[in-house]
Amino acid sequence: MNARDRILARVRLALDRASETAQSESAATVRDRLRNRPRGPLPAMNWDLVPRFRERCFSLSSTVDEIARLDQVPHAVARYLAGNALPSACVCWPKLAPLEWTAAGLQVEARPATGDDATGISGVFCAIAETGTLMLLSGAENYATTSLLPDTHIAVVPATRIVRSMEDAWDLLRSERGALPRQVTFVSGPSRTGDIEMTLVLGIHGPYRVHVIVVGG
Amino acid sequence: MQVTSQQFKRKAAEALANPKLRKALSNLRARMVIGRAQSVLELDNLEQIREAAKSARDFALAHLDHLLEQFERNACARGAQVHWAETGDDVNRLVLEIARRNAVRKIIKSKSMLGEETGLNHYLEAAGIEVRETDLGEYIIQEARETPSHIIAPAIHRTADEIADLFQQKHKLPRKTDIGEMTREARMVLRPHFLTADMGITGANFLVAESGTSMIVTNEGNGRMTTTLPRVHVAIAGIEKVLPTLEDVAFILRLLTRSATGQSISNYLTFTTGPKQAGDKDGPDEFHIILVDAGRTRVLASDLRAALRCIRCGACMNHCPVYQSVGGHAYGWVYPGPIGAVLTPAYVGLENALDLPNAATMCNQCGVVCPVKIPLPDLMRKLREQQVERGLRPWSERLALRFWAWVALRPAAYAWIARLLAAVGRWAGGSMRLMHKLPGGASWSRYRDMPAPPGKTFRELYRRRK
């Protein structure tokens, strides 16, 4: 008997499930629950997706820009960087590399971010309107560092990828990917802490700025 | 962590006399209490969600063995290595073995209260490994060589001035006065550690059985770095943290973040399933999950089981008049406030934490705000009963109660003593009709005056009226 067996034995004893029938009933109940995956009660969500997403982003101190087409992204990024007096050199996810960055006056490299990069530009798997949240998946070309190490994180969000709630986001992930990737990260605004005298400060270990560009809303 | 709950009364008295601490604790009200109240207004069905959260947690506990087996199976299928630890010492030993096997010299940590239970940091440091806490609050108390005084805001007992002094001393940089500047300084000082650590250790807010996923709820970004940048990641979690599905996590999170800090959602939610996959750009080569008992199976078998529903939001302590007055260190272990008053005796022994279940007004603010409806005052009452049954109360208290029982069973003696006390009380009250001293009741009368009895007992007055 090893630690695992002893712990599980103590759990079974504590739950007073001595008989075989009780054991198999419990196992069946668990199997059903994992298969059916019932949702918990949802609060009322009587709002439209894009306006709600925009309003929630503001409340988290993210900024939001709305443009019509994907090819306008480089100019939207250039406008944002100039408006905040930020450098024109960025890193991005490879899937955004084909956009016309140089034409917009930017030097954008498709590689993971280091501690020296000022701005990281990523895509998202989807975004959640209820809370103004970005859902990022790990992957071969979805560098974790892009949205984590630089001071500024810019996220390109197609309006069609804005869903209502986290429950809807999980459904979307299951239907499109089947299984979870190594890491699923939900990002809701610039990093923050209140650990000193409960005073809210933005920009601790993660980015200090989060700028969301909604495309085709 | 070493247990000092036996010194609760002394430490509480010191805390009450400490104006800096009182001021620091008053910050709780603004952010945590008012924050929670405002954020739950966003939920039109708060009580429905609370009831469902209680059911989900009870379901998980009622089927804990099967859920843990499912969790393990699914985690291992994705390449995670799952270990089981019966005691805190086992946790420490397992973590050190993993570190040694991987030639780890530096560890970064994203907070883990379970790690505090086992004394993990000290154990690893004694073995010659550098351990760096990266949550700003945890970093502060690590540098100050203190223990956390709150489970969400561990440095809440420290003023900004004290932290500025600490940073100046440790960082050898000009002293900052602005909290924003101090935060930026901490970011700058800690950033190199993220990039050079060999191993990351986190806790887990929840373990998701359906996918073998471990998830953490953070705001700062250090949790993301700790689970991604180093080549080894170890997550330590109490066995009670398991939930069946991602749907369960989604709806319970709505309560967790609001109850903890008044946020609609926490800045970062990180769901980790297995180590780096083929084709992944980022991630550790090895991901270890340590499932920990350390007294949880004993609580599961006891009448305190409801305490295992706890999702570690901290709402109970934020709303507790006792915690608000004395802070967390007086409680003497890892978990303060109402949940600490229940878990501490449960985990470290009833006889080592006698005062904690008694340091309560039974106002039930904790019960009202608990997202999973743990009946905390009831559990404290059960612990008080257990103390009496096991003869753990001081002899003076037992003697006084025995005397009271003797008198209460004898109506004539009761009436006579009551008449005597009423007369004495009236005399002691003087013209002000206030008694300033209660013999044998100094701990009450030191801070309170009692109105003097009018001179006749109720029964005498009643007889007279008839």
DSSP for A7-62, please give it. HHHHHHHHTT--SHHHHHHHHHHHHHHHHH----PPPP--S-HHHHHHHHHHHTT-
Task: Report the pLDDT value the prediction gives residue A63, as an integer from 0 to 100.
Answer: 97
Which residues of B fall within a CB distance of 8 Å from A144?
224, 228, 281-283
Which residues of B fall within a CB distance of 8 Å from A10?
293, 297-298, 300-301
Look up residue B96 and give its two tokens: 């050190």
Which residues of A fall within a CB distance of 8 Å from B270?
183-186
Closest CA–CA distance from residue A96 to any residue of chain B (Å) = 17
How many domains in chain B? 1
Closest CA–CA distance from residue B131 to any residue of chain A (Å) = 18
Which residues of B fall within a CB distance of 8 Å from A197?
24, 27, 159-160, 179
A153 in contact with chain B, both atoms CB, cutoff 8 A = no
Query: Among B85-99, B276-290, B294-308, B409-423, which is the least confidently predicted range?
Result: B409-423
Parent domain of B441: 395-465
Task: Report the pLDDT value the prediction gives residue B145, as an integer from 0 to 100.
Answer: 94
Closest CA–CA distance from residue B294 to any residue of chain A (Å) = 10
> How many angstroms separate the CA atoms of B209 and B214, rounded?
9
Q: Which residue of A has its CA nearest to B221?
A: A206
Closest CA–CA distance from residue B424 to any residue of chain A (Å) = 50
Task: Report the pLDDT value the prediction gives residue B30, as an integer from 0 to 100.
Answer: 76
pLDDT single digits (tens) B210-259: 999 999 999 999 999 999 999 999 999 999 999 999 999 999 999 999 99
Dihedral of the alpha carbons of B115, B94, B57, B223, in degrees to the nearest 10: 50
> How many angstroms separate the CA atoms of B305 and B296, rounded?
9
Q: What is the phi/psi pair of residue A126, to 5°?
A: -165, 175
Residue B414 lies in a domain: yes
Q: Which residue of B has its CA nearest to A26?
A: B63
Q: Which residue of A has its CA nearest to B64?
A: A11
Which residues of B fall within a CB distance of 8 Å from A59?
264
Going by C-beta distance under 8 Å and a sequence separation of 6 or more, which residues neighbour residue B142?
Answer: B121, B132, B133
Nearest CB among A10, A138, A191 relative to B297 is that of A10
Task: Report the pLDDT value the prediction gives residue B420, as an integer from 0 to 100.
Answer: 87
Residue B283 lies in a domain: no
What single letter denotes the amino acid at residue B417? I
CB-CB under 8 Å, B53 with A40: yes
Task: Report the pLDDT value the prediction gives residue B429, as an integer from 0 to 100.
Answer: 80
For the four alpha carbons of A6, A12, A16 and A22, in that order, the dihedral sign comes to: negative
Task: Report the pLDDT value the prediction gives residue B439, as an integer from 0 to 100.
Answer: 74
For the four alpha carbons of B80, B86, B88 and B90, in that order, the dihedral sign comes to: negative
Task: Report the pLDDT value the prediction gives residue B457, as an integer from 0 to 100.
Answer: 80
Identify the residue among B91, B178, B242, B271 best suited for mutation to test binding to A, counting A beta carbons within 10 A and taking the highest. B271
CB-CB under 8 Å, A140 with B281: yes
Nearest CB among A27, A44, A193 relative to B66 is that of A27
| pLDDT averaged over 10-residue windows placed end to end, chain A, 217 residues | 95 90 94 97 97 97 97 98 97 97 97 96 98 97 96 98 98 97 97 91 94 94
Q: What is the mean pLDDT of residues B420-432?
A: 82
Total CB pairs under 8 A between chain A and B: 258
Sheet holding A119-122, edge to edge: A63-67, A209-215, A152-158, A119-122, A89-92, A107-109
Q: Predicted confidence band at B437 (pLDDT cuts at 50, 70, 90)?
A: confident
Task: Report the pLDDT value the prediction gives residue A185, as an integer from 0 to 100.
Answer: 98
Task: Report the pLDDT value the prediction gives residue B453, as an integer from 0 to 100.
Answer: 80
Residue B412 lies in a domain: yes
pLDDT single digits (tens) B254-291: 999 999 999 999 999 999 999 999 889 899 999 999 99
Closest CA–CA distance from residue B354 to any residue of chain A (Å) = 25
Residue B439 lies in a domain: yes
Closest CA–CA distance from residue B43 to any residue of chain A (Å) = 5
- Closest Cα to residue B337, out of B380, B293, B385? B380
Q: What is the mean pLDDT of residues B145-167?
A: 92
- Closest Cα to residue A154, out of A82, A60, A51, A65? A65
CB-CB under 8 Å, A43 with B271: no
Task: Report the pLDDT value the prediction gives residue B406, as an integer from 0 to 100.
Answer: 94
Which residues of A fall within a CB distance of 8 Å from B252?
40
Strands A119-122 and B130-133, bridge-based pairing: unpaired
CB-CB under 8 Å, A197 with B179: yes
Residue B430 lies in a domain: yes
Task: Report the pLDDT value the prediction gives residue B436, as an integer from 0 to 100.
Answer: 81
A192 in contact with chain B, both atoms CB, cutoff 8 A = yes
CB-count exposure of residue B166 (10 Å: 0-12, 13-18, 19+): middle
A44 in contact with chain B, both atoms CB, cutoff 8 A = yes
Using the predicted structure, report yes or no on whether residue B455 has a pLDDT greater than 80: no
> How many angstroms separate the CA atoms of B256 and A115, rounded?
32
A61 in contact with chain B, both atoms CB, cutoff 8 A = no
C-beta neighbour count of B431 within 10 angstroms: 5
Task: Report the pLDDT value the prediction gives residue A76, as an integer from 0 to 100.
Answer: 98
Query: Among B17-26, B51-60, B456-465, which is the least confidently predicted range?
Result: B456-465
Which residues of A fall within a CB distance of 8 Å from B247?
37-40, 167, 170
Using the predicted structure, report yes or no on whether residue B125 has a pLDDT greater than 80: yes
Using the predicted structure, report yes or no on whether residue B422 has a pLDDT greater than 90: no
CB-CB under 8 Å, B136 with A196: yes
Strands A162-163 and A201-202, bridge-based pairing: unpaired
Residue B350 lies in a domain: no
Look up residue A168 and give its two tokens: 């809807």
Q: What is the mean pLDDT of residues B40-55?
A: 98
Query: Among A34-48, A198-212, B376-390, B427-441, which is the least confidently predicted range?
Result: B427-441
Distance spanning both ends of chain A, measured CA to CA: 60
Domains of chain A in sequence order: 3-36 (no CATH), 49-215 (3.40.50.10420)
Closest CA–CA distance from residue A31 to any residue of chain B (Å) = 9
Identify the residue among A1, A30, A95, A145 best suited for mutation to test binding to B, counting B beta carbons within 10 A and taking the highest. A30
Strand-pairing partners, residue A153, are: A120, A210
Q: What is the mean pLDDT of residues B152-180?
A: 93
Closest CA–CA distance from residue A78 to any residue of chain B (Å) = 26
Task: Report the pLDDT value the prediction gives residue A68, as an integer from 0 to 100.
Answer: 97
> How many angstroms separate the CA atoms of A154 and B304, rounded?
48
Closest CA–CA distance from residue B15 to any residue of chain A (Å) = 17
Global pTM reads 0.94
CB-CB under 8 Å, B42 with A43: yes
Using the predicted structure, report yes or no on whether residue B423 has a pLDDT greater than 90: no
Percent of chain B with pLDDT over 70: 100
Strand-pairing partners, residue A69, are: none
Q: Which residue of A has its CA nearest to B25?
A: A197
Using the predicted structure, report yes or no on whether residue B425 has a pLDDT greater than 90: no
Residue B410 lies in a domain: yes
Using the predicted structure, report yes or no on whether residue B338 has a pLDDT greater than 90: yes
Q: Predicted confidence band at B353 (pLDDT cuts at 50, 70, 90)?
A: very high
